Amino acid sequence: MKYGAKMIAESTLVAVDNDNPQRDFEIDFTIPEFTCLCPQSNFPDFATISIHYVPDRKLVELKSLKLYINKFRDQEMFHETAVNRILDDLVGLLDPRYMEVIGDFNVRGNIKTVVTARHAQEGFLPNGNGRGLSR
């Protein structure tokens, strides 16, 4: 096994301490080369994944996120499953005040699919544009 494939296979998501947990601030990640496999055809599905969150006590470590996302390339799953799994895994790791994951999938069979999944801690309300920064 080549070293890159080994790093991906052995990786786990890692959280690091937030040095500013007293403050609400927003973090955005754009992952333009996401791939997974269609569970019916096994053809690759391509998407841009956007992750937006307001952290609490933990932040996701970026290299671990990169390796985690690359694990999806060989997994068979529907678009909705992929987006919800990313949200569930990150919420389980970080317990953010607010998180939104959007999967903007390339056209397939003349259909464009965009999947949005959200999480908010109790008492944390998103502001008017659907993103969180108000209590």
Quote the CA–CA distance of 122 and 109 in Å, as a whole number: 39
Query: Does 17 qualify as catalytic in the annotation?
Result: no
36 belongs to the catalytic site: no
Cα–Cα distances in angstroms (integers) from residue 97 to residues 51, 70, 82, 125, in the given order = 14, 26, 21, 9
Q: What are phi and psi of 32, to 5 degrees?
A: -80, -5
Catalytic residue of the set 24, 38, 89, 95:
38
CA 6 to chain centre: 22
Q: List alpha helices for 1-135, DSSP H.
A: 3-10, 62-70, 79-94
Active-site position among 19, 28, 36, 45: 45
Residues with active-site annotation: 38, 45
